[in-house]
Amino acid sequence: MSGRDKSAVIFADVVRRNPGESEFHQAVLEVLESIIPALDKHPEYTEAKIIERICEPERQIIFRVPWEDDRGEVHINRGFRVEFNSALGPYKGGLRFHPSVNLGIVKFLGFEQTFKNGLTGMPIGGGKGGSDFDPKGRSDREIMRFCQSFMNELYRHIGEYTDVPAGDIGVGGREIGYLFGQYKRITNRYESGVLTGKGLGYGGAQVRREATGYGAVFFADEVLRTSGDRLDGKRVLVSGSGNVAIYAAEKAQQLGAVVIGCSDSSGYIRDDKGLDLELLKEIKELRRVRIDEYVRARPHAAFVPGSPIWEVPCDVAIPCATQNEISATDAANLVEGGCRLVVEGANMPTTPEALRVFEGAGVRFAPGKAANAGGVAASALEMQQNASRDSWSFGYSEERLQEIMKEIHASCHTTAEEYGMPGNYVAGANIAGFRRVAEAMLALGLI
């Protein structure tokens, strides 16, 4: 059977065995389509049923999370941890707290994470978790009680050599602190390497907070350099205004770009003079309020409620909010507005239809599993520092991050060329990430 036929049969089986999990199907299809040339070249993967095994998580944990709000009312949420693949190292990947979280979403994220972590070249397997808990409007005490209850079950499944969670949407430094505190209390172990994204005062690493956004911009810079171009002077749009968006905007500004807009789920702001990042950090990191607050302090800027940010003309788009946030219409608007490069800070923010629009228009495209790998790579550096009880300076950590992003870029670029698809970063990232995981799985026997 050809690689193409084999991949179609496997995909049909994945859909049949995982009904209703549309995001998971979408992520699997993209990878299976990309790796066809690698399957044709390496029949040993097909013989050993590597793809069938890769599409089936090693372990899936679903649990009840009961907690009490400030008024004493009891709430029940659902917790997840999908331990996808440990061929390359302990399961590694974030936790997402958002009302939309369900098993299919956690599986798509865990699946992507497996290849992303492979691409980093670091010793980390793939996993993901989270809950359908909605942190919006909750007090610090409520967040703490939720995190403690979540950890009361999660602790038995994780460990520095087993599974190492971190943040994702709705989970940042505050939540990681509460989760770590509860893990330490239950286990009576100061096991720093069990979670990453910790605060700098208790085992966290410099540049982890900035790493995903900075890394995405380093990746953008590498893509531009391949054609002798640079970020300096470019108009950049960033969607979202959370951890990834804020630090993508910061690094883009440092490299001379003008970041003219960002968003949250209520709408977007446009500031043609360039975003005031200190103000944005105060609104989003300290006060945790809605983005229209921005225009109160910067009256020349505009707040546009309810519309996608992609209607604003730009040169470079960095989606940093959530999956499937760029539709075909958004993509057409971006192309019309002059956008020549899309770099995914978020996981799978571009719909397959939008990707076809970009491809048709010759827009360069950097997929999340390569471009946003800086976050998890910095997590692996945090694990390394925890294991050696060391802590590195900001400057050194940022240099390491930049080197890693350059290597990931080079690996996607050369793999795409090797397989006859120059400039196709989707194929390059999927094939390079897949091959790292597949080779390790072959070496480890039938696992």
Q: Which residues bind ligand 2IT (CB under 6 A)?
A: 92-94, 113, 116, 166, 168, 196, 347, 375-376, 379
> How far is residue 293's CA from residue 140's CA, in Å, rounded to a whole number?
21
Give the strand order in the sheet containing 74-85: 59-68, 74-85, 126-131, 91-97, 163-167
Q: Is 267 within 8 Å of 292 (Cβ atoms)?
A: yes
Residue 240 binds which of ligand 2IT, ligand NDP, none (CB < 5-8 A, kind-dependent): ligand NDP
C-beta of 50 vs 216, nearer to ligand NDP: 216
Residue 242 binds which of ligand 2IT, ligand NDP, none (CB < 5-8 A, kind-dependent): ligand NDP
CB-side exposure of 118: number of CA atoms within 13 Å?
27
Residue 351 binds which of ligand NDP, ligand 2IT, none (CB < 5-8 A, kind-dependent): none
C-beta of 89 vs 375, nearer to ligand NDP: 375
Q: Smallest gap, in angstroms, from Cβ of residue 161 to ligand NDP?
A: 22
> How far is residue 135's CA from residue 194's CA, in Å, rounded to a whole number?
23
Q: SS3 of 414, please?
A: helix
Which tokens belong to 387? 């294991």
C-beta of 261 vs 433, nearer to ligand 2IT: 433
Task: Tell me which H or E stretch contains 66.
Answer: strand 59-68
Catalytic residue among 6, 92, 107, 128: 128
Q: Smallest gap, in angstroms, from Cβ of residue 332 to ligand NDP?
A: 20
Residue 241 binds which of ligand 2IT, ligand NDP, none (CB < 5-8 A, kind-dependent): ligand NDP
Q: Smallest gap, in angstroms, from Cβ of residue 201 to ligand 2IT?
A: 19
- 163-167 vs 235-238, strand pairing mode: unpaired
Residue 93 binds which of ligand NDP, ligand 2IT, none (CB < 5-8 A, kind-dependent): ligand 2IT
Tell me which residue has its CB nearest to ligand 2IT.
94
Q: Smallest gap, in angstroms, from Cβ of residue 72 to ligand NDP?
A: 27
Q: Smallest gap, in angstroms, from Cβ of residue 49 to ligand 2IT?
A: 27
Residue 92 binds which of ligand NDP, ligand 2IT, none (CB < 5-8 A, kind-dependent): ligand 2IT
* 324 DSSP assignment: T
The footprint of ligand NDP (CB under 6 A) covers 94, 98, 100, 167-170, 172, 212, 240-245, 264-266, 320-322, 345-347, 372, 375
Q: Smallest gap, in angstroms, from Cβ of residue 97 to ligand NDP?
A: 8
Tell me which residue of 168, 159, 216, 188 sits closest to 386, measured CA to CA.
159
C-beta of 159 vs 173, nearer to ligand NDP: 173
Q: SS3 of 95, please?
A: strand
C-beta of 301 vs 320, nearer to ligand NDP: 320
> How far is residue 172's CA from residue 163's CA, in Å, rounded to a whole number?
18
Which tokens belong to 306? 């309810």
Tell me which residue of 317, 344, 345 sits closest to 331, measured CA to CA.
317
Alpha-helical segments (H) within 242-282 = 243-254, 277-281
C-beta of 94 vs 367, nearer to ligand 2IT: 94
Q: Smallest gap, in angstroms, from Cβ of residue 184 to ligand NDP?
A: 22
Please provide residue 324's backbone torsions phi and psi, each rounded to the nearest 5 degrees. 55, 35
Residue 128: active-site member: yes
C-beta of 115 vs 178, nearer to ligand 2IT: 115
Tokens 């087993």 belong to which residue? 162
Alpha-helical segments (H) within 243-321 = 243-254, 277-281, 293-297
> Residues with catalytic annotation?
128
